[in-house]
Structure 1
Amino acid sequence: MKSNCPLITFDAMHADIVDLRQFYHSELGRFAEQSIAAALTSLWARLPEERLVGLGYVVPYLDRFREDTERTFAFMPAGQGAVNWPMGSASATALVFDEELPLPDSSIDRVLMVHSLEFAESPRETLKELWRILAPGGRLVIVVPNRRGVWARMEHTPFGSGRPYSRGQLTALLRETNFTPGATAEALFFPPSKLRAVLSLRRVFERLGRVLSPVFSGVIVVEAQKRLYQGLPVAARASRRVFVPVLAPRGVPTTREETPLKR
């Protein structure tokens, strides 16, 4: 079934891992992280003994949930690049193709997507793959730039790249891929300015924005649950990704004939 709210085509090239790290190490990035983390916490307070996967650049947010989970993985798309996480312990990072995740069916309880869906080559195929790895009753939280907000129009932050969404577009996409949309939240009501005078008023902007203009938030946060009661066509899906080896070893030629084994 086709959506009545088609997605607008944008260049969905991934943000670079270096740019993402630099943004979150900046003052503006730290304040953005705090605003989004507050929205996430309002949806997921704790995840006791659950298996969590973060897809995209989720490192700034995973530490808030990792202590409660059974295990947590940070999956980073190949087009973006990867960094080691968590610091000071065994790496839980994997470089992945988001339509073919290296996990068995129904093996994960929760998925968190940040800086991910807006860069996906095929958002529907990515969500179908997440449906596959989520356990029955598993939940997904997506953070995407709000196409009505100011942040989606400013290119000096990662939220100004990729494909922004309206709430209606995101809801329609989730329903098409057999998810049931649930609780929602908003974040980033303060302007994406680097001026300290503006950033010092961010709490005022956040409070006023939540009351007066939540529709113009910088990002939309939506939780959805894996839907089981609708039948799915069973078909083997061929990979759309073609992998070409950098080196194709041909073996080492020899000038000696093999000596037959003696009996």
Structure 2
Amino acid sequence: MDVVDLKEFYASPLGAAARRLIAHRIRARLRGMSGCIVLGVGYATPYLDVWRDEADRVIAFMPARQGVAHWPVNGVSATALVDEAEMPLPDGCVDLALVVHGLELTEQLPETLREIWRVLSPGGRAVFIVPNRSGMWARTDRTPFGHGRPFSRTQLTDLLRDAMFSPSGWANALFVPPIARGFLVRSAAAWERLGLWLWPAFSGVIIVEAVKQVYAVRKPKRARRFVPKLKPVPVPAPAPVGSRRSGEIFHANRAGPASAIVIDRCLVGKGGETA
């Protein structure tokens, strides 16, 4: 998705309704961000405004393949165009990372998660908002949540644990159908309450809060060492001196690094002649 398409979506009535519903769920989980450093990854600027007056610093990194947009509208820009797998930040300097339109659109998924883990402070938190594989929003490409790779809750859990994150909270949002109709957009809040009560597993997006783990390091799997099996090879016994097999070359094969060992045996025949 291009940054222009993302801006146009959130400027539409359906995008504005989606932003309100998701921001409400995020705000309900994250409070007390005074004095913290907040980092948005992907296209998270529509959801960062709630912390501008509360947090010590709020910045946004947008992937190079997506493009960058000026934010906030008034004042000095707090956005930067970066490689999501190589962020220009020191280790452990971010208290909260909000990832929106990031995991499903990146081509460097494990590297991006490891980079987010690196810049988070010990015990820092990350909030990931991803399309739900079972929801309606992942089945249409009219919205940004229909592009890229959707996730299930099990897939997201395994992915975060492999990146040394511990999921600590889950939420669901966007139960309104992804149709830009006036009556559906106006009734989005009612759809949200009804969906949370009747079918929470079919939400449009999954919101997961994860904590950085610093006490458990998963060791990489070692490659199994190959040991060749040695098989005995019968070797004919040497012929006695003066027999008809004088001058014959005997070969002794051995399994191992060397392919073969050739033994030339010169025997003396009758009459003292050398064979």
Q: TM-score, normalised by structure 1?
A: 0.81
Query: How big is each residue's C-alpha offset from its partner over 1:203-238, in whole Å with a ceiling of 9 and x where there is no partner?
Result: 22111100111100000000000001113669xxxx
Distance 1:102 1:32 in 2: 31
Indicate the residue corresponding to 1:242 in structure 2: none
Distance 1:221 1:134 in 2: 19
Q: Does 1:165 align with 2:171?
A: no
Unmatched 5+ stretches in structure 1? 1-14, 235-263
Q: Any conservation in 2 of the 1:46–1:65 contact (CA below 8 Å)?
A: no
* Deviation, structure 1 residue 197: 2.1
Which of 20, 26, 35 is the aligned partner of 1:49?
35
* Deviation, structure 1 residue 122: 2.2
* Deviation, structure 1 residue 22: 0.3
Indicate the residue corresponding to 1:119 in structure 2: 105
User: Residue 194 of structure 2: SS of its match in structure 1?
Assistant: helix
> Quick check: which has more Rg, 1 or 2?
2
Distance 2:186 2:95 in 1: 38
Task: Letter of the 2:182 partner, please give it.
Answer: R
Distance 1:101 1:152 in 2: 28
Unmatched 5+ stretches in structure 2? 221-275
* Deviation, structure 1 residue 60: 0.7
Task: Letter of the 1:99 partner, please give it.
Answer: A
Query: How big is each residue's C-alpha offset from its partner over 1:46-94, in whole Å with a ceiling of 9 and x where there is no partner?
Result: 3110011000111111001121111111100001100111122111111
Q: Any conservation in 2 of the 1:100–1:129 contact (CA below 8 Å)?
A: yes
Which of 9, 21, 30 is the aligned partner of 1:35?
21
| Larger relative contact order (CA 8 Å, sep ≥ 6) | 1
Which of 117, 131, 152 is the aligned partner of 2:138?
152
Distance 2:6 2:101 in 1: 9
1:55-134 equivalences under 5 Å are: 55-134=41-120
Q: Any conservation in 2 of the 1:183–1:224 contact (CA below 8 Å)?
A: yes
Distance 1:88 1:183 in 2: 34
User: Residue 53 of structure 1: SS of its match in structure 2?
Assistant: strand
Q: TM-score, normalised by structure 2?
A: 0.78
Runs of 4+ in 1 over 6 A off after TM superposition: none
Distance 1:179 1:197 in 2: 40
Indicate the residue corresponding to 1:210 in structure 2: 196
Which of 160, 171, 174 is the aligned partner of 1:185?
171
Q: Any conservation in 2 of the 1:17–1:81 contact (CA below 8 Å)?
A: yes
Distance 1:58 1:103 in 2: 18
* Deviation, structure 1 residue 32: 0.4
Indicate the residue corresponding to 2:182 in structure 1: 196
Q: Does 1:137 align with 2:126?
A: no
User: Residue 228 of structure 1: SS of its match in structure 2?
Assistant: coil
User: Residue 18 of structure 2: SS of its match in structure 1?
Assistant: helix
Distance 1:135 1:231 in 2: 16
